[in-house]
A and B are shown apart, each in its own frame.
Chain A
Amino acid sequence: MMYEIAKDPIDIQSVIDKVVQREAGAINTFIGTVRELTKGKKTLYLIYEAYEPMAVKKLEQIGNEIKERWEGAEVAITHRVGKLDITDVAVVIAVSTPHRADSYEANRYAIERIKEIVPIWKKEHWEDGQEWIGNQLETVAYPSGKPEEGDLNE
């Protein structure tokens, strides 16, 4: 399985191993971690929740989009759910391509796209409260009911 939602800590090397290929000249790995301070506010821990079957499908869609745009790319993505502490690994994205420039670009594309279309949510827990992120900011509303291509780099 190249695209997974994991309830246990992610083994980074096993994600990387999935994209090893003889045609590759580069493997680019992104490791998303839980940050303590956001705009000066101290996070104690996070809860990630996913609509798992759809999230896996959307991760796979992102992988397919990458393969269309960057020839010869292989992609593996694992996203964690449940309670995560500060510095814990929330997501690992590994992309291999024949040449290194493509692996950087394609990996960046994957993380930005995850933040657009993959049904995963985080709940921030602070010393003085808790809130689901994404609900109160409303920085991205989708008038057509689904994200458009132009929303990608917001």
Chain B
Amino acid sequence: MNKILFFAHLRDEVGEESVTIDASGKTVAEVKALVAEQYKLQKLDSAMTAINEEFAPNDEVIKDGDVIAFIPPVSGG
């Protein structure tokens, strides 16, 4: 299983800090599409994705146990 973390506006829209799904074998792009549809997230395309706390490209394949985080454009500083 895979934990998916949400931040900023995504967290507000989903209403959860995290959810657990089975994403192993899927690419980042596939998981994004799946999650966007399930939670009606229109701006997930503009979010980056991190796997295990490191940025990951859209074609990376997720393994069992990987922690996925969607990172909206950042605004620190």
Contacts and interface: CB of A to CB of B under 8 A. Distances in A.
Given A123-B8, A132-B9, A147-B48, A118 B43 contact: no
B7 A119 contact: yes
Interface in B4-31: 5, 7-9, 11-12, 28
A54 B50 contact: yes
A101 B57 CA distance: 36
Contact of B48 (A90, A91, A138, A142): A142
Q: Is the interface of A mostly helix, strand, loop or mixed?
A: mixed
Interface residues of A, number: 38
A79 B48 contact: no
Contacts of B72: 121, 132, 134-135
B48 A48 contact: no
A32 B75 contact: no
B77 A134 contact: no
Contacts of B48: 142, 145-147
Q: Is the interface of B mostly helix, strand, loop or mixed?
A: mixed
B5 A51 contact: yes
Given A49-B8, A121-B8, A134-B8, A146 B76 contact: no
A32 B38 CA distance: 38
A133 B77 contact: no
A57 interface: yes
Given A51-B7, A54-B50, A146-B56, A135 B76 contact: no
Interface of A: 32, 48-51, 53-55, 57, 79, 90-91, 111, 114-123, 131-135, 137-142, 144-147
Nearest first, the 9 A-B pairs at minimum CB distance are A120-B76, A134-B75, A146-B55, A121-B8, A54-B53, A134-B73, A133-B75, A132-B9, A132-B8
